Structure 1
Amino acid sequence: MALATRTERQPSRTRTFWASTIGKKTVMAVSGLIMLGYLVAHMFGNLKIFFGPGEFNAYGHWLRTMGAPVLHHSWALWLVRVVLLAAVVGHAVSAYQLSRRDIKARPSRYVHKRPRASYATRTMRWGGVILGLFIVWHLLDLTTGTVHTGGFQEGHPYQNVVDTFSTWYGNVIYIVAMLAVGLHIRHGFWSAAQTLGVGSATRDRVLKTTANVLALALTAGFLSVPVAVMTEVVS
């Protein structure tokens, strides 16, 4: 009976993994890569706005019918949303707990002796907060229409996007958030590669170049939409 009690009290492998620093870093890495994959697909979808309202609205409609006829209307879209929500929560919780663990483990007398980190590293935490707030605003603006200005039109994403980027605050919020995305990806991709054991002496330069290219391409791709609306290339 005593043996059985001791066995029952042993933490599961999942719990032990999550409690470890490497476990939290792995969750951060995997969830970050999931979100990166989504960002790449989302950017290419956004660029369809340059082909006119017909193409862009059709893309918005397809998002709700993808998987048909196997899946019901919007089921695939909701599945993507659930996976992304889990990734965002896992990423945020892991980052917060690792940050608290790092602060507790750092002797105060060494605080001023630590080498200064890069700009991207020093802004990762604030960048995460900015992105979290942006996601909430973005959903309320272009998904539910709650904070949308100009009259939200269900099923007309092209006009809704034009309305958003026809306001100064819509542009400011979006541009700041996308710059934060670029910095986050530049540092995060590299960190994820190291955590997952992909990095090596021979591959480090390739990984750093890939991180820089991804960050630059995604930032430029996302920013091209509000810039096109502001310059009336898209209207």
Structure 2
Amino acid sequence: MSRSPLRSSIGLKIVMAVTGIALVLFLIAHMLGNLKVFAGQTSFDHYAHWLRQLGAPILPGTWFIWIQRILLLVAVIAHIAAATALAVRAKAAQPVRYAHRRPVRTSYAARTMRWGGVIILLFVIYHILDLTTGTLNPLGDPDRPFANVVADFAPSRWYVTLFYTLAVVALGFHLRHGVYSALRSLGQQTPRGQRTAKAFALVFAIVLCAGFLAVPFAVLTGLVR
């Protein structure tokens, strides 16, 4: 029986690329939306309520946002499954290890992809229970999104900000390695092209991380209250 194209190594890389692009686009949109907290409570609450009603009147209630969540979940599962399958195949294809074989040098970001992915996954679960369902939020009022954010990152809850920071930093390493690998796959194979791709991936990861971390630290320091 022939293997499905999607299960081939090329197919798995395509799945990783497509799902990765979708997730990165979501992260950019999510970050920009988060930054509206600096526009004030009214603006941020209006934006949050608008998201819940997106798609109306074609779609009733919060259908659009739930469709988005389901698609994102599918993308995350497909991304993890493809990455795992490729990693297993790469390990199986390695030659027999010899006692004096020199270890292959890899970047710090590449070595942290596994534990970083676990941290990100745990954070996503917590984040949903915190600011989406309100289960773990000290205020937990769906009609007051701005107040939920301020209550969540209050100075007394510094450990939440610490966990958030750890997850965002892990995300930064993940993005840096992922974007760099994607650009190389798209043809940046020359030494100059690789340097450009590495610089772009680093800047992109830093900007995205800074955008996400700006909100909790603004609340923690009293800039947003």
Deviation string, structure 1 residues 187-218 (Cα, Å, up to 9, x no partner): 101212333x3434364444333212210110
Alignment of 1:86-101 (within 5 A): 86-101=74-89
Which residue does the alignment assign to 2:211? 221
Determine helix, strand or coil for the equivalent of 1:86: helix
* Regions of 4+ moved over 6 Å: none
Which residue, 59, 62, 71 being the options, matches 1:74? 62
Give the distance between the partners of 2:200 and 2:29, measured in 1 at CA: 17
Q: Hey, what's the Cα distance between the residues in 2 that align with 1:85 and 1:110? A: 41
- CA shift, 1:151, in A, is 2.6
Structure number with larger C-alpha Rg: 1
Deviation at 1:118, TM superposition (A): 1.0
Cα offset for 1:69?
Answer: 2.4
Q: Equivalent residue for 1:130?
A: 119
- Within 2, Cα distance between the matches of 1:35 and 1:145? 23
Matches of 2:187 and 2:61, distance apart in 1: 39
Instruction: Look up the match of 2:175.
Output: 185
Distance in 1 (CA, whole Å) between partners of 2:28 and 2:193 is 23
Query: Take 1:110 and 1:168, find their aligned partners in 2: how far apart are those partners?
Result: 48
* Aligned mates of 2:194, 2:108 — CA distance in 1: 20
Corresponding residue to 2:220 among 205, 230, 234: 230
Whether contact under 8 Å (1:29, 1:191) holds in the other structure is no
CA 1:99–1:200 in structure 2 vs 1: closer, same or farther (change >3 Å)? closer
Match of 1:208 among 191, 198, 203: 198
Partners in 2 of 1:39 and 1:110 — Cα distance?
43
The letter for the 2-side match of 1:133 is L
Tell me the SS of whatever aligns to 1:46. Answer: helix
Cα deviation, 1:106-130, whole Å, max 9, x if unaligned, reads 2342585233211101101111111
Aligned residue pairs total: 221
- 1:6 is matched with none
2:112 is equivalent to residue 142 of structure 1: no
What is the match of residue 61 of structure 1?
49
User: Please, which runs of 5 or more residues in structure 1 have no aligned partner?
Assistant: 1-9
Which of structures 1 and 2 has the larger relative contact order (alpha carbons within 8 angstroms, sep 6+)? 1
Q: 1:16, CA displacement in angstroms?
A: 2.0
Q: Does 1:155 align with 2:143?
A: yes
Cα distance in 1 for partners of 2:54, 2:179 equals 29
Percent identity between the aligned chains?
Answer: 46
What are the superposed Cα offsets for residues 84-138 of structure 1, whole Å, 9 maximum, x if unpaired?
Answer: 1111001111111222222222234258523321110110111111111111010
- 1:225 & 1:17 partners in 2: Cα distance? 43
* Native 8 Å contact 1:185 1:211 kept in 2: yes
Separation in 2 of the partners of 1:35 and 1:62? 21
Query: What corresponds to 2:37 in structure 1?
Result: 49
